[in-house]
Structure 1
């Protein structure tokens, strides 16, 4: 019997599987996917065995990672309802689907962890928010959940009521960062820098700036001020961003993201 099972092999399911393979041997893992083509491809790439159905996958592991899109949850939960037991640890990756709603479908004695990872998990640089009732799990089980998500980056435990805020801060935000890098590169290309170099300069600037925030512990505003020399090029650019509503646009994006996650819109 395997230890960790993955239901769904989209971007996030695949990223987690690849990351966990750094910590666990292939024989400790099992997965399933929607199509036979995906099952065969992932098995060939990872040597992890696959199950023919979602129920079979759940039956053959203790930790069940639900890595399917929210719209597929009703179908998947129906398929595994009688396969999961109170001994399982069910890890849900879907935004907006609460622990209470999952218990309502699967059973009140089912033990569930909500997780919100992001796509940089594909390269081991993910950030995951985790929410669960610690009283329902042993310390070994909590350690295992942390180990799974530590294999693809960093993680932090948060209250469940804050999970939609986590979606804003890290779950969806890589897309905004990619837009920023693309726009920054376009600006450099406009003035003659070759496209490939423009992407390299812009992406490394973002990576380096993020690392400065994480490693120095300084407030982002203080780090920004250190780059803005009086009367210089950077403060001119910052002023232009402010006049164009840069920060307001980010706040609007977070508001839209939060409302979608909460089912408000």
Structure 2
């Protein structure tokens, strides 16, 4: 089995680690030892970065972008290693230049990787062999899609961050159900299953909305209230805010790391 080392065992790194158990030999390192030891059932916890680098063929960079410096990248640079980064805003040219290899891929997954239900954007400029490996890895925790790296900021807004927006919608809808008289557990169950029902519908979402909204009915009354209160515009702005944040991080990383 391929040997994969994880630098960073936080929420996103941990979700991927859990999904890969049994398919790869996993090695774990985090400066916060509590985080790596919390995942000890999924991989071998190592005490130093050097141990992880010497034990692994593929290095997963799963730390926050502000922790990625020139010194950090030079410290993990090793001949023959392959690298995958899930850090937002750190572009391929920055990684390739500092790691001195083309065998680098960027992933943008979401937290549902833990349940093997993520959709993950993949970008790499490496050879076909490494690209195939990268896609195989990304497919291990859900669906993998190849996109041009210039669209990573858009993908973060419409997937990586959007999953939190959807969960916020579910949470708020469940609380509305509580206000209407349901217990919170029952309301949450109803809302979750309604979202599953919506996802089961084929065709364009707007076409399905039209089918559900009868004239002067209950649904159209609710849809009108959503729009009167800026529902669609709020979503547009939320996606754009996430996209712009990724853009800002990428700009800073180019200034500081190239």
Once the two structures are TM-superposed, the CA of residue 143 in structure 1 deviates from its matched residue by: 2.6
Say whether the 8 Å CA contact 1:16–1:149 is kept in structure 2.
Answer: no
Once the two structures are TM-superposed, the CA of residue 151 in structure 1 deviates from its matched residue by: 1.7
Say whether the 8 Å CA contact 1:88–1:110 is kept in structure 2.
Answer: no
Once the two structures are TM-superposed, the CA of residue 164 in structure 1 deviates from its matched residue by: 0.7
Cα distance change, pair 188–177 in 1 and its aligned pair in 2 (3 A)? same
Query: After superposition, what is the alpha-carbon deviation per residue over 1:42-97, rounded to whole angstroms, capped at 9, x for unaligned?
Result: 22x22x2122222331222221111111111115324313xx22x32211101111
| Counterpart position of 2:255 | none
- Within 1, Cα distance between the matches of 2:23 and 2:132? 13
Q: Counterparts in 2 of 1:225-236, with a 5 A limit? A: 225-236=210-221
| Counterpart position of 1:146 | 135
The DSSP-based 3-state class of the residue aligned with 1:164 is helix
The answer to whether residue 231 in structure 2 is matched with residue 246 in structure 1 is: yes
2:51 alignment partner, one of 45, 56, 64: 56
Structure 1 runs of 4+ aligned residues shifted over 6 Å read none
Q: Counterparts in 2 of 1:1-265, with a 5 A limit? A: 3-24=3-24, 28-43=25-40, 45-46=41-42, 48-74=43-69, 76-81=72-77, 84-85=78-79, 87-107=80-100, 109-133=101-125, 136-139=126-129, 141-212=130-201, 216=202, 218-263=203-248
Say whether the 8 Å CA contact 2:82–2:103 is kept in structure 1.
Answer: yes
TM-score when normalising by structure 1: 0.87
- Within 2, Cα distance between the matches of 1:73 and 1:37? 21
- Within 1, Cα distance between the matches of 2:72 and 2:188? 40
The DSSP-based 3-state class of the residue aligned with 1:146 is helix
- Within 2, Cα distance between the matches of 1:56 and 1:23? 21
Once the two structures are TM-superposed, the CA of residue 2 in structure 1 deviates from its matched residue by: 5.4
Structure 2 unaligned blocks of 5 or more: 253-258
The DSSP-based 3-state class of the residue aligned with 1:30 is strand
TM-score when normalising by structure 2: 0.89
Say whether the 8 Å CA contact 2:30–2:36 is kept in structure 1.
Answer: yes
Structure with the bigger RCO (C-alpha within 8 Å, sep 6+) is 2
Once the two structures are TM-superposed, the CA of residue 197 in structure 1 deviates from its matched residue by: 0.8
- Within 1, Cα distance between the matches of 2:148 and 2:20? 25
- Within 1, Cα distance between the matches of 2:90 and 2:32? 25
